[in-house]
Structure 1
Amino acid sequence: MKKTAAQNSIRPWAVLFWLLVWQGASMVFSALWPNGHLLLASPISAALRLGELAFTAAFWRAVGGSIAHIFGGFLAGCALAVALAALSARWRLVRELLYPLTAAVKAVPVVSFIILALVWLDSRSLPLFISALMVFPPVYLNVLAGIAAADGKLLEMARVFRVPLGRRLAGIYLPAVLPYFRSAVSLALGLCWKAGAAAEVIGLPSGTIGERLYTAKVYFQTPDLFAWTAVIVAVSVLFEKLFLALVDALAGKAGL
């Protein structure tokens, strides 16, 4: 297990290699075409532009606006998924009703949902809704699987001795569900940031990263495009690590 984790980790030399490839490709573009730097900005120019943007208030407003919408959608999607998974585990009818919905969300391209949702929602609500929608299937299905994996003998014993619901949840269901939930949110956080950023680019809510990405594309501000993309990746990774650390801390506190 440790060997597999080491094999999947990001190596600094590999990152440096691809940065050099990027830099070389940018230099070739600039040499072959008069405006080649507009087609592919170098990593140096993107990093310098990111440094410039980081010292502006508009940059932090855009980052904060996107975090509020996308991470808010993530939390809403998680809460709804956990609640409906509990109901589905209890009642088969609920599970059968939700199966076509989860299958559709998994199969339909996110851009179709974005365009359709624009008919009903304003542009500021769109990223929150899309993020929640993308988070729902993996969290719902994994939590449902975790509930099904709970020890049947322990549950039978809890019923026989009339163990209170709270103790059953903490002592039997939580240890079974938590590994599934942790795996699901690790995947869902990346999905919701990708989908949420796409919704911002299409819906163009003001004061968001998606709006800045679209502006950079329209005006051929390639360094800005790469800089804002790097911000999305960095914020997504940061929130994934923080949220998973919180889940692990809660698990440790619960003695799991």
Structure 2
Amino acid sequence: MRGKKQNVRLWAVAFWLIVWQLAAVALHAAYPHGALLLPSPVSSLARLWTLASTAVFWRAIGTSSMHILGGFLLSCALAVVLAALSARFSRVEELLAPLVAAVKTVPVASFIILALIWLSSRTLPLFIAALMVFPPVYLNVLEGIRRTDASLLEMARVFRVPFSRTLRGVYLPQVLPYFRSAVSAALGLCWKAGTAAEVIALSSGSIGEKLYNAKIYFQTADLFAWTAAIVLISAAFEKLFLLLVDKIAERMGA
């Protein structure tokens, strides 16, 4: 179900940047090595700009994006298919219920450590991102299917409308708002979980590895710069993906 959109206001961003800057200035004045504890927004942005001019930066972005967004897309496809099966067969829903409950409640760190026993450091982020995305998408799509207008479905049956047309004209317009709401929340979640998996597994050439190295070598400005890169990439992909969903919904009349 489409919730109320929370817009990020420019003045609010500016406020917190000023708070950050003041905190950094106060810390730098109080401690000789205050920059190691909290770099200023300006130094973090400058470091991000420097990193963005290197090939290593873009290789890490590409590696992490391939793993995390690949897991997101695979999980979305699987969640939609299984939600449709669960709506049609109650036994499928009953079978999946314990798995969905476990994924929702067990800490992501536990899944990362357990999965690392069986998976390589390169495939782990994809698996963890997919695992975290599955519950919200599955549950929302299942709810959307169940809330599909019964009168429209009955009319389609009476007039013997082909399933392909029923899917396009009835199910998709009804389910897409639920799907949109789910992926909006799941995209940020998959980046958090996927990056955490990269850090723990030390996935070679990934953003997570760069974050770990920044922590080991006390490169705090790098840590903030890479974190900003994650936020920007996640926000950009969310905008693009939701724009695609909205275009589809517009064509479907949702």
Report the TM range for the smaller structure's normalisation.
over 0.9
Please tell me the residue identity of whatever aligns with 2:28: S
Residue number in structure 2 paired with 1:177 = 175
Residue number in structure 2 paired with 1:90 = 88
Asked if residue 34 in structure 1 is aligned to residue 32 in structure 2, the reply is: yes
Cα RMSD (Å) of the superposition? Answer: 1.1
Residue number in structure 2 paired with 1:233 = 231
Equivalent-residue separation in structure 2 for 1:13 and 1:184 (angstroms)? 28
Residue number in structure 2 paired with 1:216 = 214
The Cα shift of 1:153 comes to: 1.6
Residue number in structure 2 paired with 1:133 = 131
Select 2:195's aligned residue among 188, 194, 197: 197
The Cα shift of 1:18 comes to: 1.2
Residue number in structure 1 paired with 2:53 = 55
Equivalent-residue separation in structure 2 for 1:178 and 1:11 (angstroms)? 27
Please tell me the residue identity of whatever aligns with 1:73: G
Residue number in structure 1 paired with 2:106 = 108
Kindly provide the CA deviation profile for residues 40-75 of structure 1, in whole angstroms up to 9, marking residues without a partner as x. 111111011001001000000000111000000000
Residue number in structure 1 paired with 2:142 = 144
Equivalent-residue separation in structure 2 for 1:10 and 1:59 (angstroms)? 27
Equivalent-residue separation in structure 1 for 2:131 and 2:217 (angstroms)? 31
Residue number in structure 2 paired with 1:22 = 20
Kindly provide the CA deviation profile for residues 156-187 of structure 1, in whole angstroms up to 9, marking residues without a partner as x. 22222221110111111111101100000001
The Cα shift of 1:21 comes to: 1.1
Residue number in structure 1 paired with 2:68 = 70
Equivalent-residue separation in structure 2 for 1:95 and 1:12 (angstroms)? 44
Equivalent-residue separation in structure 2 for 1:72 and 1:16 (angstroms)? 34
The number of residues matched between the two structures is 251
Query: Unpaired runs of 5+ in structure 1?
Result: none
Equivalent-residue separation in structure 2 for 1:156 and 1:11 (angstroms)? 45
Instruction: Give me the identity figure in percent.
Output: 68
Moved over 3 A (4+): none
Please tell me the residue identity of whatever aligns with 2:51: L
